[in-house]
A and B are shown apart, each in its own frame.
Chain A
Amino acid sequence: GAVVSQHPSWVICKSGTSVKIECRSLDFQATTMFWYRQFPKQSLMLMATSNEGSKATYEQGVEKDKFLINHASLTLSTLTVTSAHPEDSSFYICSARNGVNTEAFFGQGTRLTVV
């Protein structure tokens, strides 16, 4: 299958700072990328959907000013957690697909710990 790479795999940051997570599709063009958040022992919650060159569509309850998503190219989307707080600590996973009704490939996830 196609490869989606997330970077970094894990990050620890101080409260109040911002953290950027990258999601890259390595061998295909990702017209759509998704960002999920996973709490310990819980399911994945879709945060937002981004199409290349367009503003991201956020799910209800997700603060768009807190979680900035940029999908500037067909192979890269970034999620920036601004002014991070300990409650933002979580596992963030991206997925990418090329086209509609095609398989979405998942990155390996980024574990964010805010101290």
Chain B
Amino acid sequence: GEDVEQSLFLSVREGDSSVINCTYTDSSSTYLYWYKQEPGAGLQLLTYIFSNMDMKQDQRLTVLLNKKDKHLSLRIADTQTGDSAIYFCAESMGTDKLIFGTGTRLQVFP
């Protein structure tokens, strides 16, 4: 079956790097995504990676994909207080259906 797991909580100091991890079980995933959800709001797509890629960098965001271990990570460099939110990873198998992880609440303190 499809299952996507994340650690529930991460706390970092402002200016440090944050690394949010995600594991998934379905090896047929074609795209993997990272979404950000601020309190009481919908989801904002941050970045995505195609399954045949190992890494993708977009400004402060770096996505690493280890397909063998089915492990995805999102690194946020120079974390700011505005980065405090819940981060969801999600996978799709080329269909319309997105399977979301459990979400990681990132708290950034000064």
Name the residue in B43, B99, B100 with the highest tally of chain A Cβ atoms < 10 Å from its Cβ: B43
B42, A109: Cβ atoms closer than 8 Å = yes
Number of interface residues, chain A, beta carbon within 8 A: 25
Interface string of B45-58 (1 = CB under 8 A from A): 10000000000000
Nearest Cβ in chain A — how far from B94, in angstroms?
Answer: 7
Judge whether B101 and A46 touch: CB under 8 Å.
no
- Residues B94 and A101 in contact, CB atoms below 8 Å apart: yes
Pair B101/A93 contact, Cβ less than 8 Å: no
Beta-carbon contact of B88 and A46 below 8 Å: no
Residue of A nearest to B48 (CB): A103
Bound-complex Cα distance A54 to B43 (A): 26
The distance in angstroms between the C-alpha atoms of A109 and B35, with both chains bound, is 14
Asked if B88 and A106 make an inter-chain contact with CB atoms under 8 angstroms apart, the answer reads no
Query: What residues of chain B lie closer than 8 Å to A109, measured between beta carbons?
Result: 40-42
Q: Is the CB of B100 within 8 A of A34?
A: no
Number of interface residues of B (CB under 8 A): 19
**Pairwise interchain contact A46-B45, C-beta atoms closer than 8 A:** no
Complex CA gap A6/B96 in Å reads 20
Given the known interface contacts A103-B45, A106-B43, A106-B44, the answer about A34 and B103 at a Cβ–Cβ threshold of 8 Å is no
Contact across chains for B103 and A43 when beta carbons are under 8 A apart: yes
B residues less than 8 Å from A95 (CB atoms)? 42-43
User: Assuming A1-B45, A44-B43, what are 12 further A-B pairs, CB within 8 angstroms?
Assistant: A42-B102, A43-B88, A43-B101, A43-B102, A43-B103, A44-B88, A45-B100, A93-B42, A95-B43, A104-B45, A106-B42, A107-B42
Residue contacts A-B, CB under 8 angstroms, 15 given: A1-B45, A4-B42, A41-B103, A42-B102, A43-B88, A43-B102, A43-B103, A44-B100, A46-B99, A93-B42, A103-B45, A104-B45, A108-B41, A108-B42, A109-B41
Residues of B within 8 A of A (CB): 4, 31, 35, 40-45, 88, 94, 96-103
Interface residues of A (CB under 8 A from B): 1, 4, 6, 32, 34, 41-46, 49, 93, 95, 97, 100-101, 103-109, 111
